[in-house]
């Protein structure tokens, strides 16, 4: 009698990865058998709320939990760059940094791709330093 091993790769997501816009490999892992995740489509109203929360967010959150929540909201669950319609220029990134980001977003069960995380971080960087960057553009 042969042993049967259950794969950690979701076959449906694997097939979807070959279609139009392949998702990151970290999203190929099977989802936990819990209830469905809430729909996080990025509407203009949500983007406006996000912009206000970024500007009104204090420099030092009151607790570690609040700091983690703000981090997740700003860089991981933000869906602005999740599935961009335009193709972007490919760049090389240090494999050590890629590994750290993949481990970081692995906790989110595929709700964030490597590409969207990096785009969110860069967008936040350009927002934070707009007064320095914009005159040079």
pLDDT at position 81: 67
Total count of domains within the chain: 1
Has residue 70 been placed in a domain? yes
- Structural domain boundaries enclosing 106: 42-136
Has residue 12 been placed in a domain? no
pTM of the model: 0.46
Has residue 59 been placed in a domain? yes
pLDDT at position 98: 92
DSSP string, 51-99: HHHHHH--SS-SSHHHHHHHHIIIIIS--TTSS-SS--------HHHHH
Q: Provide the residue-wise pLDDT of the chain in tens; the chain has 137 residues.
A: 566 666 666 666 666 666 644 444 444 444 544 444 444 444 444 444 444 454 444 455 468 888 888 887 887 777 776 665 667 778 888 999 999 999 888 887 767 888 888 888 998 999 999 998 888 88
Q: What distances in angstroms separate CA 81 from CA 17, 59, 60, 93, 136, one per listed residue?
A: 17, 25, 26, 18, 24
Has residue 118 been placed in a domain? yes
């Amino acid at each position: 009698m042969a042993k049967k091993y259950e794969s950690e790769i979701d076959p449906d997501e694997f097939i979807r990865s070959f279609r139009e816009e392949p998702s990151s490999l970290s999203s190929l892992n099977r989802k936990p058998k819990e209830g469905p995740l809430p729909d996080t489509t990025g509407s203009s109203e949500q983007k406006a709320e996000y912009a206000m929360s970024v500007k009104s967010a204090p420099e030092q959150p009151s607790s570690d939990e609040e700091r983690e929540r703000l981090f997740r909201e700003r860089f991981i669950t933000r869906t602005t760059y999740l599935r961009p319609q335009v193709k972007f220029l490919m760049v090389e990134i240090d494999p050590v940094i890629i590994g750290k980001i993949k481990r970081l977003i692995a906790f989110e069960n595929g709700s964030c791709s490597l590409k969207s995380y990096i785009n969110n971080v860069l967008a936040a960087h350009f927002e934070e330093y707009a007064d320095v960057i914009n005159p040079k553009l």
